[in-house]
Amino acid sequence: MKHTLIHLNSSPYSSLACKEGLDLALVLATFEQPVDLCLSGAALALLTLKQNPTTEQGKNLHKLLDGLEFYDIENVFIQANQRLDPNTTWQGIQPLNDAEWHAMFSHYPQVFRF
Amino acid sequence: MQYTLFITGSPYQSKACHTALRFIRAALNTYPNSIKGVFFYEDAVLIGNQTAQPPRDEINLTHAWQEIAQQHNVPLYLCIAAAVRRGIISESESRRYELDQHTLADHFQLEGLGTLVDLMNTTNNVIQFR
């Protein structure tokens, strides 16, 4: 059993990449594989509260975040210097400083990027 | 050492399928049993579309991967959810969706992500091409 990091870097609304990365995370967790998430770049939009996308804009992937704990996905990392507004950002994230962020990628035997 | 190849890049918008093809040829020529399976996910599943017709003066990537599967007995898995969403439909899925055609190319098979989990747990490393 290998600990997997799924790195989301794509916008949740510009392609299916973010959704398919989350799908993989949930399947790994369903099969009791340890998995953590980290978000950067356009994928940070996933964290914004009160999203209400239309059908054309895509599924509301933000809603999945509150369910992550039920899959035992407890770690969702971001870089600390992102200046996200805590009032409008999902609270389940763990900010890492630059050194921790860069070191993180070598802690995992497998990193998949979406 | 045995590896799994995990390909997520579209055959039309990235070189992921091309680069993975070069990698797998080199690996299998040197170590014939080094690749346990290839799992295509995201837009990479488009590689399994039997109706795609590339221009004749360009590489037919689907045929190239089929040759790998035939010559080296390497299974080529397409994520079933990603594939069906994109119109890559096997004969059995065609019946399930009550369609009158199927589009899955020979030597590719539709499998769930559980197959990827199994490959991850039974090979030394997974190499992603995106």
Over pLDDT 70: what percentage of chain A?
A: 100
Distance CA A20, CA A18 (A): 6
Contact A36, A76 (CB under 8 A): yes
| Mutant choice from A27, A33, A105 vs B, greatest count of B C-beta within 10 A | A27
Residues in chain A with CB shorter than 8 Å from the CB of B126 are 110, 112
What is the domain partition of chain A in residue ranges? 4-49+59-113
Minimum-distance CB partner of B117 among A16, A31, A112: A31
Q: Residue A86 has what pLDDT?
A: 93
Q: How many other β-carbons are positioned within 10 Å of the β-carbon of residue A58?
A: 16
Q: Residue A1 has what pLDDT?
A: 81
Superfamily of structural domain B3-128: DsrEFH-like (3.40.1260.10)
Say yes or no to pLDDT of B34 above 90. yes
Q: How far is CA A30 from the centre of its chain?
A: 16
Q: How confident is the model at residue A83 (pLDDT cuts 50, 70, 90)?
A: confident
Contact B16, B44 (CB under 8 A): yes
Alpha helices in B2-129 (DSSP H): 16-30, 61-72, 80-85, 91-96, 113-122
For residue A38, what are the CA distances in angstroms to A29, A41, A48? 15, 11, 15
What is the domain partition of chain B in residue ranges? 3-128
| Mutant choice from A18, A33, A112 vs B, greatest count of B C-beta within 10 A | A112
Distance from CA of B6 to the nearest CA of A (A): 9
Helix (H, G, I), strand (E, B) or coil at B26: helix
Averaged pLDDT score across all residues of chain A:
96
Residues in chain A with CB shorter than 8 Å from the CB of B112 are 27
Q: How confident is the model at residue B35 (pLDDT cuts 50, 70, 90)?
A: very high
Q: Residue A8 has what pLDDT?
A: 98
pTM of the predicted protein model: 0.95
When computed from its CA atoms, the radius of gyration of chain B, rounded to whole angstroms, is: 14
First-to-last CA distance in chain B? 22
Active site residue B79: yes
ipTM of the prediction: 0.91
Stretch A93-103: mean pLDDT, rounded?
97
Q: Write the pLDDT tens digit of every residue in B61-110.
A: 999 999 999 999 999 999 999 999 999 999 999 999 999 999 999 999 99
Q: Which tokens is B48 given?
A: 């399994």
Say yes or no to pLDDT of A78 above 90. yes
Contact A37, A25 (CB under 8 A): yes
Distance CA A89, CA A84 (A): 7
Q: Which tokens is A10 given?
A: 């794509």
Instruction: Count the alpha carbons within 13 Å of A4 in the hemisphere toward its beta carbon.
Output: 27
Say which CATH topology domain A4-49+59-113 has: Hypothetical Protein Ychn; Chain: A, (3.40.1260)
CB contact under 8 A, A114 and B42: yes
